[in-house]
Structure 1
Amino acid sequence: MIRSYIKIAWRSLKTNRLFSIVNILGLSIGLATTLVLFLFILHERSFDSMYANKDKIYRVLLNTTEDDLETWTGSPSAVALELEANIPDIAEAGRLLKHDFGGTAFIKASNEVFTEKKLFWSDASVLDMFDVEIVKGEGSEVLKTPNTVLLSESTAKRYFGNENPIGKTLTIDDVDVVEVRGIFKDFPENSSLDFNVVAPFLMQNAAKNPTWDNASFETFLRFNSASPNVANVEAKIQDILDKNVKKDDQWYNFSLQPLEEIHLYSSTYKDSYIERNGDINQIRNLTALAILILIIACINYMNLITARSQKRATDVGINKTLGASVRDIIVRFYIETGLITAIAMILGGVLAVVALPVFNDIAGKELDISSLFSIEIIIFLVLIWFVTSLISGSYPALYLSRFSPKEVLKPSTNKGGVASVIRKGLVVVQFSASVVLIIGVIVIHQQLEYIQNKSLGYNPENVMAISTSAIRGGQANQALVNAFKKLPNVSVVGRSQGYPGMGVSGRSINKPNTDETMGISTNTSEREVADVLQLKLLAGQLLPKNKQAGDTLVEVVVNKTTVDFLGLSPEEAIGKKVAMQLGNNAYIHGVVEDFNFASLHNPIGAYAFHNSNREPKSYLLIRFTNEVLSETISNFENTFKNIAPNSAFEYTFLDKNLELLYEKEQRTANVGLLFSILAVIVACLGLFGLAAYMAEQRHKEIGIRKVFGASVPRIVQLLSMDFMRLVLISLVISFPLAFYFMNQWLQDFAYRVTISWTVFAIAGALALMITFVTVGYQAVKAAVANPIKSLRTE
């Protein structure tokens, strides 16, 4: 019997080629989309699952308790030692510090200088708790000895080629000479932890003098058992904090984050050294999008089947007359649906293989095609095939199987009123979803364009930042500044700790005669940096050009937000002493207009340039005239190499660096655009099939109207208006939904566009145009057909 049903289903597919092609193509696009997105979601959720201690590892988070409440991934260097010593539940604790607090290291190996962005200083316990696999030489015990280092396999090959790296020496930033003592296996792509070079944390000052103030160290804990009582442990951590830090000085508290949440639940946390961060909201949105596209494809199938219900009803009636039961009819329709879905599944798999490289490029991922053939994907395909067949075939099977032979075989054919209402309702659902996606894409692109064009309060164009962290000595740095000043297309040069768009030192500033404090970003700088950035001076002067040796006075140039917090005007602030953890002799020397030194996700905070020597000036900022860029880069590199031959030339352009701050949003926009187009295509396939069927059903009516003089435009209008009305209803439903969802998304930005009526007008016009083009093709085809052929049938 089953074999017979399969043959009947196959004949039905061949007999109704147009509807079969539309169904299969729509389902295959929906399945391919779902498959690619599932592969991405599976990859994102697999992070850190390879570690044996994954259920026992937690990261210490620091939560600020003053002003803007933030969560930092770093904690003070003393935390790991105190927690391990005083909380019995903790088996071991370890600290990680990225080189130069996130800066690039310059490593000399075999007389060649390499730039290294993944050099970490680590406690030996971190390697133990994360099961770092040693493939050659010694393991984690190396990190208990100073001036040693471990390299990843790929890094060892990059530094030394095919030579044995064990026993070789490296020079870090032209200062630290370390010996290679071991090689570890590269971290997998789905590991949050990822470093190329790891050196002993004990070589850092923070290890020699652990404190409770500088929260720059990521701290990991391994508990004795899985799923510890987190609330109880956090209470003990607070007790330890109370014993070591006075209540008046506690501007933070601690919490614990399980390893399994680090990848997807850390996107809003500050200053993480872990770069492979995902976003749980993106996963949820893409999951909803995949389900939505699949549902739209299933709706297409149900619509086309119910649209053809009158023809199928006659078939059902004859089968019932010949003795077929309701169960037989249901099984038959499910087998037909399963066959179509199976064919669509195969085609969808092929499309997924073709589309995966495109998705990787758009989403910035490295998903492997071989992953499509994993056991998880195969199980997922079987499950999707079953669910899709069940959803797509449910209404046709249950609806058509109820037809009475007496009703469907008599001449007064059933008009299918209920089926028509359901069919129209499904079309409205399809296009409501499509219009929401269209509006979402438009709003996201408007916001990104707004960010790119917004005045930042400084000018990032034609500014290059060159890392000088490997250049030691004031004379060498000054020689470099002088050399660049002599270049013809250089207008101004200055040295600083950092630049807008990157993190600098975080401190707090106290409001005089109150307990109020505010977080402030401080940047050790030279006078010329303000000119490089073209900041607007509101009062006072820029930093002094020269500072005498032994001078303990610290001049500070702050932004307007800082003096607003202090309750002063820019003019009143000049000469005022400030308490901002720069010593007791810090005075405001000048005030500049506010500028966006961080992402536009956040409002402008307090910022200060100062001439204290507490932090090194690791960057050379250069403003140059706009000439041939390739020649400018070449000239700058040659100048740099002449002064610092033992350091690699690493640079960034400030405007390009700013684009990286919104890379996630840009990729979200691109992915959203791609899948919105696919959703609209799938919806249009359904409209195309419905329009073709409606034109076929009304061919006699069209013929009669043409005989009586109806024009082609009038017939096109007649056939199109029903669909246009449905789309108009979908617009009424989708507009408020889209406004709500996109308004929620925009809340993540401190500076954002206003959703205007033009967005809805554009989306509505696009939806109507797409509908008219899709339906109009079939309408014109029917309208220009010879009426004699239409009237000659039967």
Structure 2
Amino acid sequence: MLRNYIKLAWRNLKSNRLFSIVNILGLSIGLATTIILFLFILNERSFDKMYANKDRIYRVLLNTTRDDIETWASAPSALGPELKANIPDIENTGRLLQHDFGGSAFIKAGNDVFAETRLFWIDASIFEMFDVEIINGTGAEVLNNPNTVLLSQTTSMRYFGDKNPIGKTLTIDNNETYEVKGVFKDFPENSSLNFNVVAPFIMQYSAKNPTWNNASFETFILLNSSNPDVDNIESKIQNLLDAKVEKDEQWYKFSIQPLERIHLYSSTYTDSYLNTNGDINQIHNLTALAILILVIACINYMNLITARSQKRATDVGINKTLGASVRQVVARFYVETGLITLIAMSLGIVFAALALPIFNDITGQQLDISSLLSFHILGLLVLIWLVTTLISGSYPALYLSRFSAKEVLQPSKSKGGMTSVIRKSLVVVQFSASVILIIGVMVIQQQLEFIQNKSLGYNPENVIAISTAGLKNGQENRALVNAFEKLPNVSKVVMAQGYPGMDVSGRSLSKPYSDVSMSIQTNTADRDIVDVLQLKLIAGQLLPENKQRGDTLVEVIVNKTTVDFLGLSPYEAIGEKVTMQLGNNAYIYGVVDDFNFASLHSPIGAYAFHNSIREPASYLLVRFKNDVLTETILNFETTFKNVAPNSAFEYTFLDKKLELLYEKEQRTANIGLLFSILAIIVACLGLFGLAAFMAEQRHKEIGIRKVFGASVPKIVQLLSMDFLKLVLVSLVISFPLALYVMNNWLQDFAYRIEISWTVFLFAGVLAFLITFVTVGYQAMKAALTNPINSLRKE
């Protein structure tokens, strides 16, 4: 019986080639899109699932209790050892710190110098908790000894080639020498941890002198149970904090986060050194998008089957007259749908394989075609095939099969009316979804343009930040500044701890005679930092040019938000003592206007430049004239190498760094644009098929109208008007939905656009244009047909 059903389905496909091609092509595009999106989603959800202790590993989060509530992924250095010693539920703890709080290290291996972005100082217990595989040399226990390092497999090849690295020495930042003791297997791409070089945490000052104040260290804990009472453990951690830190000095509390939630649920957390650039909201949106496009493709199939229901009803009536049961009719239609979706699935896999490199380029992912053959994906493909078959075949199988032979051989007007209503409703749903996608992409793009063009309060263009972490001492730094100042295309040069767009030092700013405080970013800098960034000085003066050795006075330039918090005007603030953990002799020396030193997702906070020696100035900021860029960079590199021959030349442009802050939004816009186009193509295929069918059904009417003098434009209008009315209904439905969805998305930005009515106008005009072009082709073709050919069949 099944064999006969397949034969009948195949014959039906061949006898209706246009509808078969439209159905299969629409479904295959929808399935290809769904496959690619689910590949991406499954990859994002696979992070950190490879670790044996994944259910017992948690990260400690710090939650500030000031007025500006924040969640940090870092914690004080004293926390880890105290947790292990005092809370029985915790089996082990481990701390990690990226070199220079996220800056690059300059590593000399033999005669070569490398800029290493993934050097971490870690406790040996980190490797034990995560079961990191050692493939050469000694294990993680060597990290309990000073001046030892472990290298990843790829890093070992990069530093030493095919030579055995064990026993070789590395010099970090032209300072201390470390011996290579082992090589560990590279971390998988879907691991939040991703170390290239690891060195002992005990080499850090914070390990020798742990405090509860400086929260710069990511801390992991290994619990005794894989099903812990999280509230109870967090309560015990709070009791420990109460025992160690006075209540009035507690500006934070702690919580714990499961390892498997780190990648997707940390987008709003600050101060993380891990690969946590995923976003669960993006996953939800892409899942909805994948399902939406698949539903649009299924609607195409149902629309065309619905349109042809009269012909299929006759077929059903004959079969029932000959004794076919309802079950057999249902089975036959599902077999036919299953065959179409199987062909479409095969084509969809081919399309997905061809499109995957393009998707990788757009999103920056490394999805592999071979993953299409993995057990999970094959299972998912079978599930998608079954679901698509059930959804697409539901109408012909369940609707047509329920009528008696007499009803389907002599169809009533009501059934025709119901069929038309179903078909029109599906078109409305399809185009409503397409219009929402169009509006969404436009709003995202406008928000990104707004971000790129918004005045930030400083000028990031033509400023280059050159890392100086590998320079030996202050004299070498000063020599570098002097060398760059002599270059003809350089306007200003300054040494600084960091620059806008990167995290510097987070501190607590206290309001005088009050318990109120707020977080403040502090940046060690030289006098000319205001000129290099082209900030607006509104009160006071620039930092002093020279600072005497042993001078404990700290001059500070703050932004206007800082003095507003202190309750002072910019002029009143000059000379006022300020408490921000820079010692007891910090005074406001100048005030600059507010500037966006962080992402526009957040409102402007407090910021300060200072000349304390508490943190090193690790960057040379150079404002240059807009000459030929390649020659400028080559000149800068030559100058840098002349002063610091043992350090690598690593640089970034401030405006390019800012673009990285919105990389996630740009990726979302690119994905949305790509798949919105595909969704519209799928919708157009459905309209094309429906228009072809309607033209075929009304060929007699068209012939008669032409005989009586109807013009081609009138016939085109006649055939197109029904579809244009449906698009109008879809606009009425989609506009408020799109407004609601995109307003919610914009809430993530502190600075955002107002959604303009022009977006809806453009989307509406585009929807009408797409419909008219798609339907108009078939309408024009029908209108130009010789009426004799239409009427001679009667």
Shared fold, TM over 0.5: yes
Shift of 1:18: 0.5
Aligned to 1:401, the other structure's residue is in SS state helix
2:309 aligns with 309
d(CA) in 2 for partners of 1:681, 1:442:
18
Query: What pairs up with 1:581-660 in 2 under 5 angstroms?
Result: 581-660=581-660
Query: What pairs up with 1:454-473 in 2 under 5 angstroms?
Result: 454-473=454-473
2:163 aligns with 163
d(CA) in 1 for partners of 2:538, 2:411:
89
Shift of 1:403: 3.1
1:564 aligns with 564
- Is the CA contact (8 Å cut-off) linking 2:594 and 2:604 kept in structure 1? yes
1:777 aligns with 777
Shift of 1:671: 0.3
Aligned residues: CA RMSD: 1.0
The answer to whether the aligner puts 1:366 opposite 2:366 as a matched pair is yes
Shift of 1:2: 1.4
1:443 aligns with 443
Q: Deviations over 1:585-609 (max 9, x none)?
A: 1111100010000000000000001
Shift of 1:402: 2.3
The answer to whether the aligner puts 1:48 opposite 2:48 as a matched pair is yes
2:82 aligns with 82
d(CA) in 2 for partners of 1:480, 1:275:
33
Amino acid across the alignment from 1:690:
L
1:376 aligns with 376
Shift of 1:399: 1.2
d(CA) in 2 for partners of 1:335, 1:376:
25
Shift of 1:318: 1.2
Shift of 1:276: 4.0
Amino acid across the alignment from 1:23:
N
1:738 aligns with 738
Query: What pairs up with 1:127-276 in 2 under 5 angstroms?
Result: 127-276=127-276
The answer to whether the aligner puts 1:761 opposite 2:750 as a matched pair is no
d(CA) in 1 for partners of 2:328, 2:56:
55
Amino acid across the alignment from 1:750:
A
- Is the CA contact (8 Å cut-off) linking 1:310 and 1:415 kept in structure 2? no
The answer to whether the aligner puts 1:749 opposite 2:749 as a matched pair is yes
Amino acid across the alignment from 2:119:
L
d(CA) in 2 for partners of 1:315, 1:58:
63
Q: How many residues align?
A: 794
Gap change, CA 1:411 and 1:244, over 3 Å in 2? closer
1:479 aligns with 479
Aligned to 2:402, the other structure's residue is in SS state coil
Shift of 1:414: 7.2
d(CA) in 2 for partners of 1:482, 1:15:
82
Aligned to 1:477, the other structure's residue is in SS state helix
Q: Deviations over 1:746-779 (max 9, x none)?
A: 0000000000100100111111110001100000
Q: Deviations over 1:77-112 (max 9, x none)?
A: 000010000001111100000000000000000111
Shift of 1:415: 6.0
1:545 aligns with 545
Task: Compare 415-424 and 53-62 and name the one that shifted more.
Answer: 415-424
Q: Deviations over 1:397-426 (max 9, x none)?
A: 111112332233349777611111011001
Gap change, CA 1:411 and 1:137, over 3 Å in 2? closer
d(CA) in 1 for partners of 2:314, 2:411:
11
Shift of 1:734: 0.4
d(CA) in 2 for partners of 1:412, 1:541:
89
- Is the CA contact (8 Å cut-off) linking 2:96 and 2:218 kept in structure 1? yes
d(CA) in 2 for partners of 1:98, 1:17:
62
Q: Deviations over 1:496-544 (max 9, x none)?
A: 0000000110111111121111111000100111100011110110101
Gaps of 5+ in 2: none
1:716 aligns with 716
Aligned to 2:174, the other structure's residue is in SS state coil
d(CA) in 2 for partners of 1:63, 1:405:
70
Amino acid across the alignment from 1:363:
T
- Is the CA contact (8 Å cut-off) linking 2:266 and 2:276 kept in structure 1? no
Q: Deviations over 1:84-143 (max 9, x none)?
A: 000011111000000000000000001110010000000000000001000000001010
Gap change, CA 1:100 and 1:412, over 3 Å in 2? closer
Shift of 1:473: 1.4
Q: Deviations over 1:327-384 (max 9, x none)?
A: 1111110110000000001000100100111111111100111000011111111111
- Is the CA contact (8 Å cut-off) linking 2:124 and 2:200 kept in structure 1? yes
d(CA) in 1 for partners of 2:414, 2:667:
51
Gaps of 5+ in 1: none
d(CA) in 2 for partners of 1:157, 1:132:
18
Shift of 1:579: 0.9
Q: Deviations over 1:386-407 (max 9, x none)?
A: 1111110011111111233223
d(CA) in 1 for partners of 2:467, 2:520:
24
1:696 aligns with 696
d(CA) in 1 for partners of 2:524, 2:327:
80
Amino acid across the alignment from 1:245:
V
d(CA) in 2 for partners of 1:312, 1:37:
35
Aligned to 1:44, the other structure's residue is in SS state helix
Amino acid across the alignment from 1:277:
N
Amino acid across the alignment from 2:672:
G
1:58 aligns with 58
Amino acid across the alignment from 1:80:
G
Amino acid across the alignment from 1:421:
V
Shift of 1:317: 1.1
- Is the CA contact (8 Å cut-off) linking 2:313 and 2:400 kept in structure 1? yes
Aligned to 2:459, the other structure's residue is in SS state coil
Aligned to 2:393, the other structure's residue is in SS state helix
- Is the CA contact (8 Å cut-off) linking 1:105 and 1:119 kept in structure 2? yes
Shift of 1:443: 0.1
- Is the CA contact (8 Å cut-off) linking 1:407 and 1:413 kept in structure 2? no
- Is the CA contact (8 Å cut-off) linking 1:435 and 1:734 kept in structure 2? yes
1:338 aligns with 338
Amino acid across the alignment from 1:699:
H
Aligned to 2:737, the other structure's residue is in SS state helix
2:14 aligns with 14
Amino acid across the alignment from 1:345:
M
The answer to whether the aligner puts 1:669 opposite 2:673 as a matched pair is no
Q: Deviations over 1:647-699 (max 9, x none)?
A: 00000000011000001100000001011111111111111111110000000
2:725 aligns with 725
d(CA) in 2 for partners of 1:531, 1:618:
19
Shift of 1:275: 2.3
- Is the CA contact (8 Å cut-off) linking 1:192 and 1:277 kept in structure 2? no
Query: What pairs up with 1:57-136 in 2 under 5 angstroms?
Result: 57-136=57-136
d(CA) in 2 for partners of 1:586, 1:677:
57
Amino acid across the alignment from 1:446:
Q
- Is the CA contact (8 Å cut-off) linking 1:98 and 1:119 kept in structure 2? yes
- Is the CA contact (8 Å cut-off) linking 2:134 and 2:185 kept in structure 1? yes
Shift of 1:42: 1.1
Amino acid across the alignment from 1:37:
L
Gap change, CA 1:412 and 1:608, over 3 Å in 2? closer
Aligned to 1:286, the other structure's residue is in SS state helix
d(CA) in 2 for partners of 1:432, 1:479:
64
Query: What pairs up with 1:290-305 in 2 under 5 angstroms?
Result: 290-305=290-305
Amino acid across the alignment from 1:178:
Y
Task: Compare 610-619 and 393-402 and name the one that shifted more.
Answer: 393-402
Amino acid across the alignment from 2:82:
E
- Is the CA contact (8 Å cut-off) linking 1:136 and 1:183 kept in structure 2? yes
Aligned residues with identical type, % of pairs: 77
Aligned to 2:155, the other structure's residue is in SS state helix
The answer to whether the aligner puts 1:417 opposite 2:403 as a matched pair is no
d(CA) in 2 for partners of 1:276, 1:602:
19
